[in-house]
Structure 1
Amino acid sequence: MIDMSGKVLLLTGASGAISRAIATLFHAHGAACVLTDFDGDAVVAFARGLDPEGARTLALRQDVTEAGDAQHAVTSAVAQFGRIDLVVTAAGLYRDALVSEMSEAEWRQSIAINLDGVFHTCRAAIPHLAPGGAIVNIASMAGHRGSFAHAHYAAAKGGVLSLTRSLALELAPKIRVNAVSPGLIEGPMVQPLIARKPELIPNTPLQRLGTAAEVAGVVAFLCSDLARFVTGETIHVNGGLHIAS
């Protein structure tokens, strides 16, 4: 059984569907959760619902593109709970744009949120991570195979995969670093894609969309002692779509 009692999680993008599932699972297993999101009101409301007494949650607004916000989140986490054991970077932006029609601003925004944000948060957290801790970066199947009309997103997620492997080399043996690459997961982000390409579900060997809870379970595994000899790896959560495509 996974036991996270006494552990402190720093989770970015905590208002997203996958992030909420991660926070809910980690909190249920005993972790204190520092939850950050660009939408400060939403993350405060979520934290209040998760932990009405506020004993094991701290909600903060964080713009992941800003290095100062990352440092503030880390400093606040340490001040509140005395340590950071686990970091999960889940903040992201997924918008349609063909390269031929993409503006420089759209490119830079996607890279800033999806890649720079991981760098800022990990860099700020590294000096404060307790020995035996873990980082899990949420990547995407798009980072492995590309994505039509989402080149900026796919490029950023490919960068996250390489950053994850580099961090695993730099932080071993003290800290483990891994990535999770979700495929088609139930939620608002995937619905327009399914509407355009309904064949994606029958082409998935498991014949359905995944759930946020299923992604959260893999993240929890990677953060737990069950994965204490796993670092520099990426686990796909896509029902077999990656291998079948």
Structure 2
Amino acid sequence: MSKFKSFEEMKQICEEINASHIPDGSRFDEAIDDILSDEESTADEVVANAYRHLLQTVDAEIETIEGKMKLSPTCRKGCAHCCYFPIIVTRLEAKLIWETMKQTMGEEAARQKITTYVENYKDKLSEITSLDFRTDADFKYKYISAQIPCPLLDTETNTCVAYDVRPIPCRTYLNYANPQVCADDLVPKEPFSYEFLYRYYMDGLHEVIEALLYGGEEVSFNYPFDLMEYDYLPNFLQEELKNEQPEP
């Protein structure tokens, strides 16, 4: 008996998850209470902690569902097929990822990483990050077909340079079928997306920031706009890099 789930099995699993295993949000409520109990950090630090904490809560919810459904991902370190997918985030998420990159890699290494990325893929990158993801029904296929890696991917090791703070789309897309399906098809039908967790995560970020602002705290970003503006991650990271460069 195959240890990999078939497409038909995944359809049944999807139906059962949607019918019986959508979370009630209580785990996110507990996370928010924990985040807001921090009275020593600055508002910006609390927001950065909230981003990490809520991402970890998403991971925990996925693990709970996997346990109930007896699922085990076939995704493995070094498998990077989905790292060529379009990753769409808010401006604030990109800022938080960028700050984490500078902290973990070092500022110069982080800047060089994005600079080299843009130089290597400049022509195709400009084309695919101009695709209208709101109106173009085929944008995902067009983007993936270009085979431009995510800016967070180390293409020598096939690992993520910001794995702990990788965005929601990266965390909620999981394969339980034969991993070969991801190699054989640009947009395989077998993988499962826990995209229903996005609402809890995003509502949590808004709730934390609004609580800080209502409490008289100040943040360095433009709320709510930075948490409502969406674009491709490469576009936002290029902007972050450009904003740090001294004017001539």
Q: Which has the higher helix share?
A: 2
Looking at CA atoms only, which structure, 1 or 2, has the larger radius of gyration? Answer: 2
**Which band: TM-score by shorter chain?**
under 0.3
Give the TM-score normalised by the residue count of structure 2. Answer: 0.23
Q: Which has the higher strand share?
A: 1
